[in-house]
Amino acid sequence: MLKKKPQRKLPTPDISYSSLVGLPAVYLRGARKSFGENEVLHDISLTINRGEVLSIIGPSGAGKSTLLRCLTLLDSFDSGELSYDSIVVCKPRGSELDSRAKKDPNPETGEHTLDIQPAIYDRAAMQRARMRFGIVFQDYNLFPHMTVLQNVMDAPLVVQKRNPAEVEEQARKLLERLDLTEHADKVPCQLSGGQQQRVAIARALCMKPRVIFFDEATSALDPRLTDDMVKLIRSLAEEGMAVGLVTHEMGFARAASDRVCLLLDGRIVEEGTPEEVFDRPSDPRTRAFLASPTKE
């Protein structure tokens, strides 16, 4: 009945020209996002380079989750520019991505205005970008009806249409690395929270991403498991992965990251190495935030 559409094989990431010339793995400039009248992200710019761990920290309600949702294309920025390596996911209207702008310059100045123009998303680029990043959700969102191995292998097989033998080999290696080998044939509900989280990490890594985001990676972990998580994140970075952490746990951010962004009320108020941000903050708002007893 349904004729199968010939599907374009999605390319699996490899070392590209863009990474050799040093484009950041994640590039975000001038991003804004509002819900109705309420602007929750004001002019956010950030980059994550290969081999670098960036933490986005801040109190609840600062816009961390919204920022992560927009970065992972679960939601969209209203304006701004986002790219993964050379893949331009969205650009402001008026830039070369939007063909309308060519015919339609500003009637008074005859120029193409670039600032605070609505972001134009490129659907094909979005799908290619999804092959570049992985996300480990706060509550993991594993597929409960699949075994651990199926969870890890399904998207590489179904979405990336890769060779089953190759995918299984990679999946089993990842499970071994994450200390899950004996759980390969269990379903997620048979595992502890920490184990489920590691399955979610394996699922993300099996897509061979270049960027991996963690949403509140330590919220369900005891101190020992948090240490393991820091080690894992550092080793991923050493292998050249770009890592984005969204967290409100300062200790974890300090231990795991190369660079920290503090998000307060939808603005990045401080950015730097963990030492700079935590020990020598320059912005009075940062000092106030770090001093407040309820910095959760």
Partner 1 sequence: MEVSIMFQKLIEGYGISLDIFFVTLIGATLLAIPVALGRLSRIKPLAWLISIYISLMRGTPLMLQMFAVFFAPYYVFGITMGPGYMMVAVLASFVINYAAYFAEIYRSGIQSMPRGQYEAAKALGYSRSQTFFRIILPQVVKRILPAMGNEIVTLVKDTSLAFSIGVIEMFTTGKALVAREHTMIPFVIAAAIYWITCLIIEALLRRAEKKLAYYHD
Which residues bind to partner 1, rule: CB under 8 A? Answer: 10, 72-74, 127, 130-131, 133-135, 137, 139, 141-145, 154-155, 158-160, 187-189, 203, 207
Closer residue to partner 1 (CB): 20 or 189: 189
Minimum distance, C-beta of residue 144 to partner 1, in the bound complex (Å):
4
Whichever of 121 and 137 has its CB closer to partner 1, that residue is 137
Strands 79-84 and 87-92: antiparallel
Closest CA to 233 of 188, 277, 197: 197
207 and 134 Cβ atoms separated by less than 8 Å: yes
Q: Which is nearer to partner 1, 204 or 230 (CB)?
A: 204
In the complex with partner 1, which residue's Cβ is closer, 190 or 292?
190
* Beta carbon of residue 141, minimum distance to partner 1 (angstroms, whole number): 4
| Smallest distance from partner 1 to CB 181, Å | 20
Q: Between 141 and 292, name the residue whose CB sits nearer to partner 1.
A: 141
| Cβ pair 184, 147 in contact under 8 A | yes
**What number of CA atoms fall less than 13 Å from residue 150's CA on the CB side?**
10
Min separation Cβ 135 and partner 1, Å: 5
Distances 62 to 33, 124, 263 between C-alpha atoms, Å: 12, 31, 6
> Which tokens hold the place of 19?
């990474």
Q: How far apart are CA 49 and CA 26, in angstroms?
A: 7
Q: Is 70 helix (H, G, I), strand (E, B) or coil?
A: helix
Contacts of 82 (CB under 8 A, 6+ apart): 26, 27, 28, 29, 31, 70, 71, 88, 89, 90, 119
**Shortest distance, CB of residue 54 to partner 1, whole angstroms?**
19
Q: What are phi and psi of 33, to 5 degrees?
A: -150, 130
